[in-house]
A and B are shown apart, each in its own frame.
Chain A
Amino acid sequence: MSLELRPPVKNLLDDDSIGDRVEQVRRRMRRRRPGRNVRFALGVGLAAVVAAIALIALYVRDAPEPRLASIENTSFEVEMHRIAEGVEVWVSPSTRLDIARSVGRGLVTLTIGRVLFDIQPSNERWTIVSGDVRIGVIDTRFSVERLSAATVVEVERGIVEVESGSIIGGRVLLEAGQNIRVGRSREPASVPDAGSALVLDVAVADPPRRRPAATRSKPSWLRLMEARRYEDAYAALGPGGIRAASEAANDPAALLKLSDLSRRLSRHEDSVVPLARLVDRYPESPDAAAAAFTHGKVALVELRRPVEAIDAFTRALQLKPSRTLEEELYVRLVQANVMAGRREDGRRAQLEYRARFAGGRYEEEMERWLSQP
């Protein structure tokens, strides 16, 4: 875990299709196929004609005026409003928002307060504006809170796109479980909530950039670990040991470090504690699937507890692993089932694997495990 990638990154990659593709491109060049720029220009021309026709059609139809509405919650309770088909908003007390709708588009301007949006997929495109922050909606449930000096966006489900001049690169996509606090221009960036994996790369406003609190006041065990004094780091965990430290750790990165520390000292029994904690407490973290996978591998290989490994691998498969990790998870699941004497379950996992990865690279290994006496 917490690997260090060594540049150049291309040394970690492998693309065996290059030779064939070079040949194909050369053949195309010989046929004098028009270049991308020509094709792009033709495409743009065509698109312009279509757009012009569409605009004329809209003009002829006498497009309706945008419909406007305002909501102001002066009560002491959260109010729910359905502002469009499939769009519900929960408006906190002391909140004001304005809504404008025209054909296929909706715009909500949040003046002050906090609103939870639940937007079902439809052809209507919704945008939420809070100060200089614009939030584009892509099928989601999320909240926006406008404070006097910042806007906080928190995603519960789906994906939203947050744009602001205060974010490096101007925009960022937030997924479920992630949040961002965007300060107004000329104000320092705020420290994002722990538990949100993406926040480190998005919680940025004007320089100077602040470090997350966790890095400003590192626990002593972490400082010792970074100094490669692993035994001392372990001793510094205190009387509660790894369990207490895992309970106290307040972000996935710290839990991964705790697991790394234990494994460096071959304390495999301890190393699974922070991993299990990470999976339980931060299932939306991008590291959760890899943590569950590592838990399973340690349980299978080091602790010889295949049933525990099966549980961990099964959980990892539910945590949206990357495709590469997913493929590996299936083969380890087969292995763990065979080692636990559950050959039939292993066979089922193999069938599932075949359905997901036709001609996958672990087919042979799976067969080897399943054919073991």
Chain B
Amino acid sequence: MQGVTSVRVLAEPSDAVLVGRALDRDDFAEEALYRRHAPRVLGILTRLVGSKSEADDLLHDTFILAFRTLGRLRNAESFGSWVTGIAANHAKQFLRRQRIGRRLGILPSGQDASFDLLASPRCSPETATELAKLQATVNRMPVKVRIAWSLRYVEGFSLAEVAETISCSLATAKRRIAEGREAVEAVVSMAVIE
């Protein structure tokens, strides 16, 4: 290390800076935004729809739409929650189409990323069994309830974050989460988030 007198650590640019640069057609900024937020968004999508391949497609569409409509983002610092909202909306549309497709018998009903299949190796078989029951219950929830409850109880979002993500009032978010919780409580024992 001889000859090195000082090391300057560069702070990572904020989302606001990256959004500004992406709007100026800076490919690096777009790439950086994707790398920063895509893993989290893909995790959420996978757990919401229970399928890896479908979640991949939804992630693709989410970021295509996000970068195409970046100019509409009012608060550039909130890119993360904005893109999560787009993803949740895509998931909602997908789940509705899937439900119709299943009724018409034109879509398979299998899930390759259900809670029990994603269960951590640390989980006991009993926990995995409970997770399987939980997934079956979530699958039966109305789509809007499923999204709100999942964001709160699967992802750990605050009530305000849920309302912001699904673009509804706090009261509506609360009502949907409560509806989901009621359905879950009848099947598995789960701690309540206050």
Once the chains bind, are A14 and B125 in contact (CB under 8 Å)? no
Q: Is B42 an interface residue (CB 8 A)?
A: yes
Q: Is B76 an interface residue (CB 8 A)?
A: no
- A1 and B188 CA atoms in complex are apart in Å by 11
Chain A residues engaging chain B, CB cutoff 8 angstroms: 1-15, 17-19, 21-22, 24-26, 28-29, 33, 35-37, 40, 47, 168-173, 200-201, 286-287, 289-290, 293-294, 321-325, 328, 361
Q: A5-B188, A8-B155 are in contact. Are A33 and B127 (CB under 8 A)?
A: no
Q: Is B19 an interface residue (CB 8 A)?
A: no
Q: Which of B97, B125, B141 contacts A293 (CB 8 A)?
A: B125
Q: What's the minimum C-beta distance from B157 to chain A, rounded to whole angstroms?
A: 8
> Which residues of B from 27 to 51 have beta carbons under 8 Å from A?
31, 34-35, 38-39, 42-43, 46-47
Q: Is B18 an interface residue (CB 8 A)?
A: no
Q: What's the minimum C-beta distance from B180 to chain A, rounded to whole angstroms?
A: 10
**Residue numbers in A under 8 Å from B116 (CB-CB):** 322-324
Once the chains bind, are A324 and B128 in contact (CB under 8 Å)? yes
- A200 and B128 CA atoms in complex are apart in Å by 20
- A286 and B133 CA atoms in complex are apart in Å by 8
Q: Which of B34, B46, B64, B186 contacts A35 (CB 8 A)?
A: B64
Q: Mark B152-169, 1 if CB is under 8 A from A, else 0.
A: 111110000000000000
> Which residues of B from 132 to 156 have beta carbons under 8 Å from A?
132-134, 137, 140-142, 152-156
- A22 and B58 CA atoms in complex are apart in Å by 11
- A82 and B154 CA atoms in complex are apart in Å by 49
| A-B pairs under 8 A by CB, number | 156
**Residue numbers in B under 8 Å from A324 (CB-CB):** 116-117, 119, 123, 125, 128-129
Q: Beyond the given A14-B121, A290-B126, please list 19 additional residue pairs across the A-B interface where CB-CB is below 8 A.
A: A1-B126, A3-B189, A5-B188, A7-B191, A13-B120, A14-B118, A14-B120, A18-B46, A21-B42, A26-B38, A35-B60, A36-B60, A36-B61, A36-B90, A36-B94, A168-B182, A322-B129, A322-B132, A324-B128
**Nearest B residue (CB) for A200:** B186
Q: Is B86 an interface residue (CB 8 A)?
A: no
Once the chains bind, are A325 and B129 in contact (CB under 8 Å)? yes
Q: A21-B52, A36-B61, A201-B187 are in contact. Are A12 and B131 (CB under 8 A)?
A: yes
Q: Which of A10, A13, A201, A321 contacts B183 (CB 8 A)?
A: A201
